[in-house]
Amino acid sequence: MSGVLARIASPSDVRALPEAELPALCADLREDIISLCGRVGGHLGASLGAVELIVALHRVFHSPTDALLFDVGHQAYAHKLLTGRRERMHTLRQAGGVAPFLDPRESPHDALLAGHASTAVSAALGVLEGRRMLGRRGHVVAVLGDGGLTGGLTFEGLNNAGGSHLPLVVVLNDNQMSISANVGAIPALLRTRGARAFFEGLGFTYVGPVDGHDLSALVHALREAKASSRPVVVHALTLKGKGFPPAEADAQTRGHAMGPYEWRDGKLVRSRKGQRTFSEAFAAVLEDAMARDSRVVAVTPAMLEGSALNELKARFPDRVHDVGIAEQHAVTFSAGLAAAGARPVCAIYSTFLQRAYDQVIHDVCLPGLPVVFAVDRAGLVGADGATHQGAYDVASLRPMPNLHLWSPVVGEDLEPMLATALASPQPSVIRFPRGTLPPLPPELHPGEAPLMGARWLRRAERPRLTLVTLGPVGLVALEAVRSEPDWSVLDARCASPLDEAALLEASACGCVVVVEEGTTRGGLGSAVLELYAARGVTPRVRLVGMPDAFVPHGDARVQRAELGLDAAGLLKAGRELLKGGAR
């Protein structure tokens, strides 16, 4: 560590540094990022690749008067380190600590709250136009990755910006990687002269390509962009993972998100190997289904790694489609596949499915096409925080007619659920969480396809209360009722349509606690209340789930306890209800 970074309290210190000290600053930033991610984990690869770019941006532009909007925000650890957050960076991604992405509430230097990709150009154009309208000064810069460029929203923004003639600066950080290698026609286009023609055709001045690790070339290009009176794109070529050999050598993701790890004597010592995840278990049953039925295909919007589809892609290269950061397209492409007679399984994170809501309604549910959505990361996700929580899938999907919405308690449920979904002529959702598989308890029998409705996990002889659950939280309920012999547990299993007969039976004891890892507003609990109201049954009901607030970053296990989603919380909720407590 050269000590240069230690002297930077704010971006004005970056601007004041002698040019000769800039390489040392970049080296210090890399060292901080590598040791930080080793200790707490995080988005290492993108942040390492953007070090020179961020130093050059702060050299040329005057944040916060000039607004820097980073797409996603996962590449911006150097920006955090240069804008007064270095002392707190050890708290990154932890409860109450530095945010996983960028957030204007954390720093005035963060002009855009993000976490989802492809928003920067549209937001930056809005900021620029808003400032123009209100007579406020300052340049506006959108920093966008080549992966973010594959998202349709970016194209909507570029189209609008090019036609606006406003002096928006777009910095394209092109490392030819999304999380996995970037896909489609764009990566190749960006490496040809067509890149200039493409951006110029959209009404932008094109500057580049420039070596994104050459500080003086970057500063020169950014100064040229700053002086422009019309939309301009600076095309920088970078290496994801730059400066950390294990990340550079990782052809799969270039160290996109790593850690915690140790770096000893030039060797990477990774922390213990994780247990099998729900994503991996789902990918395994999907692989079997694809082996049995040549109509089954998998679709992922740029989450091949996270959805554990890499091996499947190697085995069935033509039947696993990574379509880029393009959730809307992924859903409508799946609809088209289904219309043609294929059996698409669209693997998509709960939080990213939000972007394709209309496609689910209009393109899949309305025509009643048999698309299976494997909704991953449903529920609390932990360190990625508010932008990535899988809170809204049940509440937003359950109103759709003819959509079956399943959730497994254990990994063994996945096989019959997928078989049921694939055999159905209608669309289906199988929602499962981020995390490892729980052991199969003796009370639970996975059942055989086709699955029908709810299942009792425990039936008390003379029940005083029923816990109605969805997903793995059913196991927590089983743990809770060990000390309560007259409490029953009903796994709703299918949040839509509801198993009305089982839920009415559950209400007969007079007290029902509905437990779900999703928002209680409009979720399974709301559905149960609607049913009881419609049938004129009036048990006392309590809803336990994710609150009417955005849940920030933190340890998901701790957050479950805080939200009453652990055994102690369920016991408390049930006992209060029995005592006559309010909903």
Ligand X SMILES: CC(=O)[C@@H](O)[C@H](O)COP(=O)(O)O
Ligand Y SMILES: Cc1ncc(C[n+]2csc(CCOP(=O)(O)OP(=O)(O)O)c2C)c(N)n1
- Cross-strand partners of 429: 373, 405
Catalytic annotation on 355? yes
Q: According to CB under 6 A, which residues from 518 to 577 bind ligand Y?
A: none
- Cross-strand partners of 543: 514
Contact indicator for 504, 467 with CB cutoff of 8 Å: no
Residue 146 marked as a ligand binder? yes
Q: How far is the CB of 101 from ligand X (least distance, A)?
A: 7
CA distance 85 to 305: 30
Rg, C-alpha atoms of the chain: 25
Contacts of 530 by beta carbon, 8 Å cutoff, 6+ apart: none
Determine which residue in the list 178, 300, 488, 526 makes contact with ligand Y, applying CB under 6 A.
Answer: 178
User: Which residue in the list 355, 398, 434, 493 is annotated as catalytic?
Assistant: 355
CA distance 367 to 85: 50
Residue with tokens 């159905």: 424
Q: Determine if 325 is a binding residue for ligand Y (CB under 6 A).
A: yes
232 or 383: CB nearest ligand X: 383
Q: According to CB under 6 A, which residues from 70 to 89 bind ligand X?
A: 72, 74
Which of ligand Y, ligand X, Mg ion, none binds 46 (CB below 5-8 Å, type-dependent)? ligand Y
Contact indicator for 427, 371 with CB cutoff of 8 Å: yes
Q: Which amino acid is at 344?
A: P
Q: According to CB under 6 A, which residues from 301 to 320 bind ligand Y?
A: 302
Query: Structure tokens of 371?
Result: 């698309």
Determine which residue in the list 177, 233, 323, 348 makes contact with Mg ion, applying CB under 5 A.
Answer: 177
Q: Determine if 74 is a binding residue for ligand Y (CB under 6 A).
A: yes
Contact indicator for 539, 511 with CB cutoff of 8 Å: yes
Catalytic annotation on 264? no
Q: Which stretch binds Mg ion (CB under 5 A): 58-66, 174-182, 272-280, 406-414?
A: 174-182
Contact indicator for 567, 476 with CB cutoff of 8 Å: yes
Residue 62 marked as a ligand binder? no
**What is the 8-class DSSP label of residue 549?**
S
Q: Determine if 177 is a binding residue for ligand Y (CB under 6 A).
A: yes
Q: According to CB under 6 A, which residues from 301 to 320 bind ligand X?
A: 306
Q: Which stretch binds ligand X (CB under 6 A): 118-126, 264-272, 333-341, 377-385?
A: 377-385
Contact indicator for 66, 109 with CB cutoff of 8 Å: no
| Greatest Cα-to-Cα distance within the chain, rounded to the nearest angstrom | 80
**How do the residues of the chain divide into helix, strand and coil, expressed in percent and rounded to 5?**
40, 20, 40
DSSP E strands: which ranges in 169-270?
A: 169-174, 205-211, 232-237, 261-264, 267-270
Determine which residue in the list 434, 458, 493, 553 makes contact with ligand X, applying CB under 6 A.
Answer: 434
Q: Say how many CA atoms lie within 13 Å of 555 toward its Cβ.
A: 6
Q: How far is the CB of 331 from ligand X (least distance, A)?
A: 18
Which of ligand Y, ligand X, Mg ion, none binds 218 (CB below 5-8 Å, type-dependent)? none
CA angle, residues 120, 122, 125, in degrees to nearest 5? 100
Determine which residue in the list 103, 146, 322, 484 makes contact with ligand Y, applying CB under 6 A.
Answer: 146
Which of Mg ion, ligand Y, ligand X, none binds 148 (CB below 5-8 Å, type-dependent)? ligand Y
148 or 564: CB nearest ligand Y: 148
Catalytic annotation on 327? yes
43 or 458: CB nearest ligand X: 43
Annotated binding site for thiamine diphosphate: 74, 115-117, 147-148, 175, 244, 327
Residues lying near Mg ion in the complex (CB under 5 A) are found at 145-147, 175, 177
Residues lying near ligand Y in the complex (CB under 6 A) are found at 46, 49, 71-72, 74-75, 116-117, 145-148, 173, 175, 177-179, 240, 302, 325, 327, 352, 355
Annotated binding site for Mg(2+): 146, 175
